[in-house]
Amino acid sequence: MKFGPVPIEQAQGAVLAHATTAGERRFRKAHRLNGEDIAALKAAGISEVVVAVLAADDLGEDAAAEKIALSMTHRNVETKPATTGRVNLHAEASGIFTVSVEMIDAINAIDPSITIATLPQHAPVEKGQMVATVKIIPFAVAASLVEAVVKICTRGEIFAVNAYQPVNIGVIQTVLPSVKPSVLDKTLRVTETRLARSGGRLTAERRTPHEIAPVAEAASALARDNDMVVIFGASALADFADVIPAAIEKAGGTVIRAGMPVDPGNLLVLGTLGGKRVIGAPGCARSPKENGFDWVLDRLIAGLDVTARDIAGMGVGGLLMEIPTRPQPREPLPASRSARSERGSTSCFLLPAAPAAWAGRTSSWRCSTASRWCAARPSGRWARRRPAPSSSPDINASACALRFPASI
């Protein structure tokens, strides 16, 4: 392919590089010029255009992208029509995305004019979501390069969406005097919500003392009637011989791995019992926020095996967002925030222009005592922070005027 300016008389059959206007007509970028187009451009006084002139052995961008996409082997993935040198591929089911990194890297190394981008390995996807895109950079590419890509695609499956399976899951929650029933009830609700996104179903729950024998007995019973067992310990894993791993072994199972390089999620236990998977959930799994438990649970529900080596390989990218409710965060609060807590609350009040109705619309706003300005900013206005006048009946000295504790 040759690219650059050419006299208008030599442009027939070439691909227009830039949108061009000729009188009342507008030719879009990538338009292939015909004889009628050339005449219109000449009549408009245009003597030269920037075009791509295809060689005999070139494939146009759409044809090249389509040929590459159609040569791929994949599962639960739909190939969309080519347009502007691009073919998008979308998930036909919800599940976990897997990809051959080796094949993708090999294709992208052939020539910069041919590119494939995908979601990360083991990314959770929803039905209809884009998982990959093939893009041809120039207006055309040599057929030999396309053939080299097609040859790589014949090696095997390049990517797939591993669809979630409708698995049945039994839950065990161990109990200590320090654990409130409301915590256990909330954990159950969070788990049911977590399973709903993948089509899993929580079929039974057992609450036992935080001891090896009763946990082993409950695990054996639930493993017989379910596809998977999840155990929430009343106390966090403190040793590889602690209650949950010991209970799995006492029940006749095997511990695959205790501990994972994902935080939050470090204290996960994974085992097998009677051919079923058993997960000792870390404490952070009581929260709906993403943690290492999700990474293992979702893969298992999608029918993917999770080995000790798989878990060992989760460290890169395994530092996830902190969960504020954790009993022991990764690191203490910064000194400025700690000092703020020690000072107690500071009040703030709205500027006179602020509508009084704001006070009832505060669910998603935040108030920071470290700032001179309140971070609650409905309708583009700010609330000014300063000591609350004692004569103001609407402002409480221990709370923000927007009804937020100032220490939040």
Query: Residue 70 is part of a domain; what is its CATH number?
Result: 3.90.1170.30
In this prediction the pTM is: 0.76
**Which of 163, 198, 225 is where one domain is finished?**
163
pLDDT value of residue 30: 86
255 and 209 assigned to the same domain = yes
Residue 322 lies inside a defined structural domain of this protein? no
Sign of the torsion formed by the C-alpha atoms of 180, 182, 185 and 191: negative
Residue 202 lies inside a defined structural domain of this protein? yes
Residue 274 lies inside a defined structural domain of this protein? yes
Kindly report the number of other CB atoms within 10 A of residue 34's CB atom: 10
Residue 328 lies inside a defined structural domain of this protein? no
**Which of 139, 163, 187 is where one domain is finished?**
163
Residue 395 lies inside a defined structural domain of this protein? yes
Residue 319 lies inside a defined structural domain of this protein? no
Residue 199 lies inside a defined structural domain of this protein? yes
| Strand extents, DSSP E, 28-185 | 48-53, 58-60, 73-75, 77-79, 86-91, 95-99, 114-118, 123-125, 130-136, 140-142, 157-163, 168-175
Per the structure, how many domains does the chain have? 4
pLDDT value of residue 373: 39
200 and 277 assigned to the same domain = yes
272 and 210 assigned to the same domain = yes
pLDDT value of residue 173: 98
226 and 292 assigned to the same domain = yes
d(CA 176, CA 212) in angstroms, rounded, equals: 13
Q: How many residues does the chain have?
A: 408
Query: Would you write out the chain's pLDDT as a tens digit for each of its 408 residues?
Result: 888 899 999 889 888 889 998 888 999 888 889 999 888 898 889 989 998 888 889 999 999 999 999 999 999 999 999 999 999 999 999 999 999 999 999 999 999 999 999 999 999 999 999 999 999 999 999 999 999 999 999 999 999 999 999 999 999 999 999 999 999 999 999 999 999 988 899 999 999 999 999 999 999 999 999 999 999 999 999 999 999 999 999 999 999 999 999 999 999 999 999 999 999 999 999 999 999 999 999 999 999 999 999 999 999 999 998 877 777 777 776 665 544 444 444 344 444 444 444 444 433 334 443 333 344 444 444 444 444 444 443 433 333 444 334 333
146 and 15 assigned to the same domain = no
Domain residue limits at 125: 59-163
CATH number, position 258: 3.40.980.10
246 and 196 assigned to the same domain = yes
Q: How far is CA 116 from the centre of its chain?
A: 19
Nearest to 283 by CA among 178, 359, 381, 138: 178
172 and 152 assigned to the same domain = no
Residue 356 lies inside a defined structural domain of this protein? yes
Question: Among all chains, which residue has been given the structure tokens 């222009």?
Answer: 353
352 and 226 assigned to the same domain = no
Distance spanning both ends of the chain, measured CA to CA? 61
115 and 29 assigned to the same domain = no
132 and 217 assigned to the same domain = no
**Which of 114, 140, 163 is where one domain is finished?**
163
159 and 179 assigned to the same domain = no
pLDDT value of residue 2: 85
214 and 82 assigned to the same domain = no
pLDDT value of residue 54: 85
| Strand extents, DSSP E, 288-379 | 373-374
